[in-house]
């Protein structure tokens, strides 16, 4: 018997109210497969899906799911099924699921799939329980089959960041794409195994990198030698211009 989703509440009552916004540059572009007529428009939707699910720093040719793209172009699958395929791909698992804790991965998926931040730690806990009991595939299915997803995106609308413009705030929420694909805990593990090592020095979180003294000494010598050579060359050109020497 599957464990039911733990109940959680929105962060405010305003989350239940449909918002009215004046269109602007900060609003997300909405891609709807029902309105796509040309191949170029479908291609734009596909790349927008990669940006939404993988984020721009992970858009690589090797990450493409060409079979899914072909099925979407041919009308064999919906946008929702295309998103499901990207989330269940080996690339997404390797680059996003494996490097993160369940809590961080849940937060990332709620942002990219439901288009909003998690309401609270209780919501992260609720979805983490689903992830732990049903596995990655069950968790993705529950997100995409949820009432919230179907009400906002249905089968044909590509998920996007909702409510970037907030009342009584000059600046809206930052794009979710700014959230790194793994946290400081995973980076510390990479540092422990020497992943960021550089000679006898390593990058530390929030600390500047200083080259070894030997490197600085060689750099100073080369700088002074170059400056001296440039000065002699300038002097020689000036004397040659006055006819005192011949170059």
CA distance 37 to 204: 50
Tell me: pLDDT of 81 over 70. Answer: yes
Question: Left (φ > 0), alpha (ψ -120 to 50) or beta: where does 184 sit?
Answer: alpha
- What pLDDT sits at residue 182? 57
- Name the strand (E) or helix (H) holding 197: strand 197-198
Distance CA 153, CA 160 (A): 9
Residue 234 pLDDT more than 70?
yes
φ, ψ for residue 201, nearest 5 deg: -120, 150
Q: What is the pLDDT of residues 112-149, one digit of tens each?
A: 999 998 998 999 999 999 999 999 999 999 999 999 99
CA distance 62 to 89: 12
CB-CB contact of 110 with 175 (8 Å): no
Candidate from 7-21, 68-82, 157-171 with smallest mean pLDDT: 7-21
Considering only residues 247 and 13, tell me which one the structure prediction assigns the higher pLDDT: 247
> What value does the mean pLDDT take over residues 14-18?
49
User: Mean per-residue pLDDT for 43-65?
Assistant: 82
Whether the predicted model's global pTM rises above the 0.75 cut: no
- According to the model, what pLDDT value does residue 136 have? 96
Mean pLDDT of the region 152-179: 68
Task: Write out the DSSP string of 23-85.
Answer: --TTSPPPPBGGG--SHHHHHHHHHHHHHHHH-GGG--GGG--HHHHHHHHTTSS-HHHHHHH
CA distance 205 to 187: 9
Q: Which residue has the higher pLDDT, 10 or 101?
A: 101
Q: Which tokens is 41 given?
A: 């428009």
Name the average pLDDT for the chain.
77
The pLDDT tens digits of the residues spanning 182-218 come to: 556 555 655 555 545 554 444 444 555 556 677 778 8
**In the prediction, which pLDDT does 213 show?**
73
Q: How many CA atoms lie within 13 A of 135 on its CB side?
A: 2
Q: Quote the tokens at residue 244.
A: 């005192």
Is the pLDDT at 40 greater than 60? The verdict is: yes
What's the rounded Cα separation, in Å, for the pair 141 and 34?
A: 23
pLDDT of amino acid 209: 56
> Which residues does 63 contact at the CB level (< 8 Å), separation at least 6?
50, 54, 91, 95
């Amino acid at each position: 018997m599957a464990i039911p989703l733990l109940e959680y509440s929105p962060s405010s009552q305003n989350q239940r109210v449909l918002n009215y916004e004046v269109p602007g540059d900060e609003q997300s572009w909405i891609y709807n497969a029902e309105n796509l007529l040309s191949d170029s428009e479908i291609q734009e939707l596909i790349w927008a899906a990669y940006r939404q699910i993988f984020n721009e720093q992970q858009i690589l040719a090797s990450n493409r799911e060409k079979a899914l793209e072909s099925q979407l172009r041919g009308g064999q699958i919906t946008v929702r099924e295309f998103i499901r395929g990207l989330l269940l791909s080996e690339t997404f698992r390797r680059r996003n699921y494996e490097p993160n804790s369940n809590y961080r991965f849940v937060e990332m998926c709620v942002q990219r799939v439901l288009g909003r931040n998690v309401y609270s730690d209780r919501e992260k806990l609720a979805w983490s329980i689903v992830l732990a009991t049903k596995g990655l595939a069950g968790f993705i299915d529950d997100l995409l089959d949820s009432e919230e997803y179907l009400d906002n995106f249905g089968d044909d609308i590509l998920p996007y960041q909702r409510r970037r413009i907030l009342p009584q705030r000059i600046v809206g929420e930052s794009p979710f794409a700014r959230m790194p694909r793994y946290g400081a805990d995973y980076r510390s593990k990479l540092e422990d195994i020497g992943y960021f090592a550089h000679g006898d020095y390593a990058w530390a979180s929030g600390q500047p990198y200083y080259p070894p003294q030997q490197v600085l000494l060689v750099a100073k010598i080369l700088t002074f030698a170059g400056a001296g050579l440039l000065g002699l060359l300038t002097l020689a050109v000036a004397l040659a211009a006055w006819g005192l020497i011949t170059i």
